[in-house]
A and B are shown apart, each in its own frame.
Chain A
Amino acid sequence: DTAVSQTPKYLVTQMGNDKSIKCEQNLGHDTMYWYKQDSKKFLKIMFSYNNKELIINETVPNRFSPKSPDKAHLNLHINSLELGDSAVYFCASSQDWDRGRGNEQFFGPGTRLTVL
């Protein structure tokens, strides 16, 4: 029944490793997102995909690469992890009305990434 799901919920890894976070939504939405929430709770968008097309790419290091195999999935792969990548990563989705403009976004439970 979960609308937006993410795996894993917790991820602890060493600097320099490569890791992936998976996201799936069963809401039939066409737009999906990745957000980063830092230790001060500040939320910032990283990427947005509409129908598997990248429509938002904020200033994110290219070590971060989103992949959307289909419109229900948006995975986040991170290469060469750094200490500063430690954060909570949220996936979200929204209805595809005019490429997601103005529609509320539904968030996954978050993945807490800790880089040691």
Chain B
Amino acid sequence: AQKVTQAQTEISVVEKEDVTLDCVYETRDTTYYLFWYKQPPSGELVFLIRRNSFDEQNEISGRYSWNFQKSTSSFNFTITASQVVDSAVYFCALSLYSSASKIIFGSGTRLSIRP
């Protein structure tokens, strides 16, 4: 069965600190896709990144970076020099090629950045 685990329910850091959000996934499929979404207090869901299972390159986008490691089935998300605007719930998600367009979401990590 496929599953996404975000063990950190809540994280609180002071502004400008770096913070890493953990994501561990489970699947036996060899072709799959991983995502991160952000849900700010306003409630909308914002797409951040997609990775396919054949692309283990890490990615950096401004202050955001993602570390995909198939060996540990992890897809962690790091925010460098965090800002108050980064406060949100962050969801990691998994989609299998074999399951059409179904996305399985983790339970989310609530990130609070204190000024």
B95 touching A102, Cβ below 8 Å: yes
Bound together, the chains give a CA A88 to CA B89 distance in angstroms of 15
Q: Contacts of B107 on A, CB cut-off 8 Å?
A: 40-42
Residues on the B chain within 8 Å of A103, using CB: 50, 101
- Pair count A-B, CB < 8 A: 67
Q: Which residues of chain B (42-82) have a CB below 8 Å from chain A?
A: 43-47, 50, 52
**Number of chain A residues close to chain B: CB under 8 A:** 28
Q: How far is the CB of A64 from chain B (nearest CB, A)?
A: 17
Cα(A78)–Cα(B31), bound, Å: 35
Nearest CB in chain A: distance from B102 CB, A: 5
Among residues of A, the one whose C-beta sits closest to the C-beta of B50 is: A104
Q: Are A43 and B101 in contact (CB under 8 A)?
A: no
**Which residues 1-53 in A have Cβ within 8 Å of B in the complex?**
31, 33, 40-45, 48, 50
- Which residue of B has the minimal Cβ distance to A41? B108
Q: How far is the CA of A33 from the CA of B97 in the complex (A)?
A: 17
Q: Find chain A residues with CB under 8 A from B89 CB.
A: 41
Chain B residues in 8 Å Cβ range of A104: 35, 47, 50
| B1 at the A interface (CB under 8 A) | no
Residue in B closest to A42 when the chains form the complex, CB atoms: B107
* Pair B43/A110 contact, Cβ less than 8 Å: yes
Closest to A108 in B: B44
Q: Contacts A41-B89, A41-B108, A101-B95 known; A106 to B47 CB distance under 8 Å?
A: yes
Question: In the bound complex, how far is the Cα of B45 from the Cα of A57, in angstroms?
Answer: 22
Query: Measured between alpha carbons, how far is A33 from B100 in the docked complex, in Å?
Result: 12
Check B101–A44 contact: CB distance below 8 A: no
- Which residues of A line the B interface, CB within 8 A? 31, 33, 40-45, 48, 50, 55-56, 88, 90, 92, 94, 99-110
